[in-house]
Amino acid sequence: MRIGLYPGTFDPITLGHMDIIRRGAKLVDKLVIGVTTNPSKSPLFTLDERLAAVRRECTDMPTEIEVVAFDTLLIDFARSVGASLILRGLRAVADFEYEYQMAGMNQYLDNGIETVFLMADVALQPIASRLVKEIASLGGDISKFVTPPVHKDVLAKIGRSKR
Ligand code: ADP
């Protein structure tokens, strides 16, 4: 059984993430979505809120999905869930350098686990959780970037009601 791991912060989960999950799910028998605690990014949503949102948004995927929290070294976590692939989404050049370096370092740590890069649908590529939060906090419309339940969660979190 081929198991893939898609790690991220998902603060919050966007349509870009969901597109990568849908594409990645076609490549594996089971996809583990690893939600990092990532205190260095000071997430808007708690770990439990992010786990719940990812689980809620991934009920209708083409393969078995498991959503798990992790706060260890990525490659150790990948091994512990039996993953042979780490899936990452690539957005234009901005992601490239960081992802290139991460994939290279992870090759050193375990050459048996491959990092696979996927591109989201062209229309969804500019979407980033950071910008979704920034736009929402300034009163902008984020409905093209997240699902309606996530939209509601974001507005509730930043103290604005959904118009
Ligand atoms: P972000 O980078 O937005 O804070 P995450 O850390 O949760 O989000 O990202 C997890 C993975 O999903 C990373 O590989 C990231 O590049 C990828 N990703 C996020 N948004 C998109 C998108 N719109 N298109 C393609 N990949 C994406």
DSSP annotation string for 45-103: S-HHHHHHHHHHHTTT-SSEEEEEEE-S-HHHHHHHTT-SEEEEE--HHHHHHHHHHHH
Q: Among residues of the chain, what percentage have pLDDT more than 70?
A: 98
User: Is there a domain that residue 160 lies in?
Assistant: no
User: Is there a domain that residue 111 lies in?
Assistant: yes
What does the alpha-carbon distance between residue 78 and residue 6 come to, in Å, rounded to a whole number? 9
CATH number of the domain at 113, please. Answer: 3.40.50.620
Asked whether 120 lines ligand 1 (CB < 6 A), one says yes
Asked whether 16 lines ligand 1 (CB < 6 A), one says yes
pLDDT at residue 162, rounded to an integer = 58
Structural domain harbouring 52: 3-121
The upper half-sphere exposure of residue 146, i.e. CA atoms within 13 Å in the direction of its Cβ, equals 27
pLDDT at residue 92, rounded to an integer = 78
User: Is there a domain that residue 73 lies in?
Assistant: yes
Domain count, the chain: 1
Question: Splitting the chain (163 residues) into consecutive groups of 10 residues, what average pLDDT does each group show?
Answer: 97 97 96 91 93 95 94 96 96 85 93 95 94 96 98 91 56
What does the alpha-carbon distance between residue 128 and residue 141 come to, in Å, rounded to a whole number? 14
Map tokens 């050193």 to a residue: 108
User: Is there a domain that residue 98 lies in?
Assistant: yes
User: Is there a domain that residue 85 lies in?
Assistant: yes
pTM above 0.95, yes or no: no
User: Is there a domain that residue 163 lies in?
Assistant: no
Write out the catalytic residue numbers.
17, 41, 91, 129
Q: Which residues contact 126 (CB under 8 A, 6 or more apart)?
A: 91
Atom 10 of ligand 1, residue of closest alpha carbon: 8
pLDDT at residue 161, rounded to an integer = 57
CA 72 to centroid of ligand 1, rounded, Å:
19
User: Is there a domain that residue 37 lies in?
Assistant: yes
User: Is there a domain that residue 25 lies in?
Assistant: yes
Atom 27 of ligand 1, residue of closest alpha carbon: 89
CA 31 to centroid of ligand 1, rounded, Å:
16
